[in-house]
Structure 1
Amino acid sequence: MTVGLAGLAVVGTGGSVPVLMLGWAVAQLGCNAAMAAMVSCIPDLVPPHQQARVSGIVGMMTSVAMILGTFLADAFDTSLALAFLVPAVIGLASVLYLSVDVALAAAVLPNPEESAKDMGVLNIGNALPQSLVPIAAPAILAIGGGGN
């Protein structure tokens, strides 16, 4: 997580696009490494009778967290310390959330013998939209650009 926070610090202080890209890559590396360590422990901690309820709450909180994070960032934009502290806390909460989410997904896989394949398909479902939207975004923005 320290590597992720260092990457976020680079993003926060970077003055050019290449520096921002490098900082973001480092932040993702650090946060995803921390999340992987947590995810490996979670399936043993969520009782089977609570998995459906926890999964629904976790799914709902993803949208709530994004909206709340936007308002928090706007509220704390005057203080540099809070500008780093609030994203760090939100990042930690996101790692905890994603750990439970992946644990629940792993717990409901149909065949334990093919869990790696199923988790790969799940990862494609998560990553593919993030890869395709930047390709389509310029065309969509050009349509609604308003003469900019």
Structure 2
Amino acid sequence: MTIAIALQVHDGVVLASDSALTLNDPTKTGSASILNVYNNGNKIFNLLKGFPIGAVFYGAGSIGKSSVPTLIKDLRRRFAGESPTTEKRWKINSKNYTIEDVARKAREFIFDEHFVPLNVTTAGAQFGLAVAGYSSGAQLRAG
């Protein structure tokens, strides 16, 4: 069982999680689907360095053959405009972005691009990603 929390407090946003990370085989069910459990996994990420945007995930630690931390690093490269094959719309403009737009893009990347092509049923699939932070120009925005 995973614990993941996104909490807005007066001075910012707090993200917290346990550290157990379970990698699954989507072609199998039940306990046979568990490939490995890491007790020191990272489930909390800054989605773009220098920006007040973070995410915490819970549930499965992998989607297909890719671990969620690896997918998040790929998403971070898109947001930074460092992925040469990515459309320009993915790069986050420091002067004009919303957390809602960042969350939509994160869903598109994780769910539409990586989960849907696996053609597995969503019944029993347990995965969630909470995106939190401050939109450009919002109060309490860091530096």
TM-score between the two structures when normalised by the length of structure 1: 0.27
Task: Considering fraction of residues, name the structure with more strand.
Answer: 2
Q: Where is the helix percentage greater, Structure 1 or Structure 2? A: 1
